[in-house]
Amino acid sequence: METRLLGSSSLAITPICLGTMTFGEQTAERDAHAQLDLARERGINFIDTAELYAVPARAETYGATETIVGNWLKRQDRESFIVATKVAGPARTMPWIRGGTLNYTRANLRAALDASLRRLQTDYVDLYQLHWPDRNQPMFGDWQYDPEMERDSIPIKVQLEALAELVAEGKIRAIGLSNEHPWGVMEFVRHAEEFSLPRVAAIQNAYNLLNRTYEVGLAEVCHRERVGLLAYSPLAFGLLTGKYLDNPRIAGRFTSFANFGQRYDKPGVAAAVAAYCSLAREHGLTPTQLALAFMRSRWCVASTIVGASSVTQLTEDLDACEVKLGDEVLSAIDRLYLLHGNVAP
């Protein structure tokens, strides 16, 4: 599989990244290692995880995913893989992580990274990401900015200065953002340039057929500032496989974990999913093939994060990523997008 540089960094990543948030919840360690083996065999060099995983986040599984990945990684040639992880921030109630005090202070960033390195059994991470902004911002299904929700937050310059220390110590090769917005990206870039601090190499945001909000403002910002998009949830939590259309109660992440309804249980989602699934079948494709091949067709996607709960599912997803869509299908996708819009922001 080919590689490309991630943003302005020196990280050479594959266009497919293995997402791991099921490891330790839906996926036991043995099966997780089988997924990692498969990804390696298919030429994927990019692995994404986070300190709060497995998902849904809870005290009992905190750090489990990094531990599982670390137990596999210690048996590999470390330099052959690009390993990304994320630090949990404020605005989520998680008292089991650093006592619930999760602002991006110098002390918290250092403590979080050191703990991740221990679990991953490595001396460094290639990409260290802020899981979501420290400041007030709509996220995970919230779709309107509310100035009344303002709270104290760590200044972006202070966050960058803390990360710069960790980069200088060799513990981080590049830094990234996640669930960010145009203003935040530009502020990180501005402070990096003005004060000679590390530049952001990547942004990890949701992007799929039901949510193309990235294209509105972030696509231009990230293109001009050389920030690569790591697109997560390409199958919209499994909705874009079409499996919930005939049986809305079928077993899956969407039905098993009710707290994810905030993003996907919205008016218009079912109709949009049905339309894209119908389009796929009209062209002899599975809905999964349409959704994942669309991701590979997008100029703005540096790498698509593909996660699965089993090797069988991951195999299907990786095969779907290799499908190339013709101009007729891509044009039809855009027509449906203009009809349905961003129904799951």
Q: Tell me the pLDDT tens digit for each residue of 212-234.
A: 999 999 999 999 999 999 999 99
Q: How confident is residue 259, by pLDDT bands cut at 50, 70 and 90?
A: low
The residue type at 29? E
End-to-end CA distance of the chain: 31
Residues 6+ apart with CB under 8 A from 172: 113, 124, 125, 127, 128, 163, 166
Cα Rg of the chain (Å, integer): 19
Please report the pLDDT score of residue 261 as a whole number.
63
E strands, the chain, where?
4-5, 12-13, 16-19, 46-48, 82-87, 125-130, 172-178, 200-206, 228-232, 301-306
- The lowest-confidence range among 99-103, 256-260, 329-333 is 256-260
List the catalytic residues.
Answer: 53
Q: How confident is residue 258, by pLDDT bands cut at 50, 70 and 90?
A: low
Q: For residues 138 and 260, is the Cβ–Cβ distance under 8 A?
A: no
Q: What one-character DSSP code corresponds to residue 71?
A: H
Please report which helix (H) or strand (E) contains residue 79, including its range.
Answer: none
Mean pLDDT, all residues of the chain: 96
Q: pLDDT (tens digit, 9 = 90+) per residue, 97-149? A: 999 999 999 999 999 999 999 999 999 999 999 999 999 999 888 889 999 99
How far is residue 320's CA from residue 289's CA, in Å, rounded to a whole number?
4
Nearest alpha carbon to residue 84 among 115, 124, 111 = 124
How far is residue 125's CA from residue 174's CA, in Å, rounded to a whole number?
8
Q: For residues 89 and 159, is the Cβ–Cβ distance under 8 A?
A: no
Nearest alpha carbon to residue 276 among 213, 232, 339 = 339
Q: How confident is residue 251, by pLDDT bands cut at 50, 70 and 90?
A: confident
Q: pLDDT (tens digit, 9 = 90+) per residue, 157-181? A: 999 999 999 999 999 999 999 999 9
Q: For residues 183 and 134, is the Cβ–Cβ distance under 8 A?
A: no
| Domains annotated on the chain, with CATH | 4-236+298-323 (3.20.20.100)
Whether the upstream peptide bond of residue 287 has omega within 30° of 0, thus cis, is no
Length of the chain: 345
